[in-house]
Amino acid sequence: MARKNTVSTNPPQKEVTGRSRGLRLERTKPLFRPIETRPDVIVRSVIIVDDSHAVRKALREFFTAAGDFFVCGEAENGRDAIEKAQRLHPDLIVTDLAMPVMNGFEEARLLKQLIPTVPVIIYTVNSSPSLEKEARLAGASAVVSKSEVTTLIATARILANKVAA
């Protein structure tokens, strides 16, 4: 859900950070963190899905630096992404294709059924016309190569603005 320079007063949420010797480790963090933008900029929320922590971190930095996106959640596989999307109601989801547990095609297919208005961008190393066709049949809105970060941000803006219109 797009917001215009707002900071949530929602209570903090707990996020599982891992397991240590059978214990579930959690940390509390705010649902939304303060952002600094111009008053005329609409900030769109995005969930980043990739099994690589380094890729998620880099994408979070790119989207944050863009100024008109806020990363409201991250997931390391499609199943976690679906759970977070249903809870966080993002404006956009950027997901890897090849992941354990549930891949990007399966994730896009289920997301299209559950929350059809949220665009899904498949962000992958492998990009070809046949892959793009399969992704669209699965419910993805676009496919962007991982070598094209600027194209990813531009595509995200186009898709987020279409939904808002």
What are 25-59's pLDDT values in tens digits? 444 343 444 444 455 667 899 999 999 999 999 99
Q: What is the mean pLDDT of residues 3-11?
A: 42
Give which of 123, 124, 102 is closest to 111, Cα–Cα.
102
| pTM for the structure as a whole | 0.74
The whole-number pLDDT of residue 136 equals: 94
The verdict on domain 37-164 having CATH code 3.30.70.60 is no
Residue 69 exposure: Cα atoms within 13 Å on the Cβ side: 28
Domain ranges of the chain: 37-164
Separation between Cα atoms, residue 9 and residue 41, nearest integer Å: 20
* Residue spans of alpha helices (H) in the chain: 53-66, 78-88, 104-114, 129-138, 149-164
pLDDT tens digits, 145-158: 998 888 999 999 99
Residue 115 exposure: Cα atoms within 13 Å on the Cβ side: 20
Tell me: pLDDT of 9 over 50: no
Residue 118 exposure: Cα atoms within 13 Å on the Cβ side: 30
pLDDT tens digits, 103-122: 999 999 999 999 999 999 99
List Cα–Cα distances, 69 to 14, 46, 72, 125, in angstroms.
22, 7, 9, 23
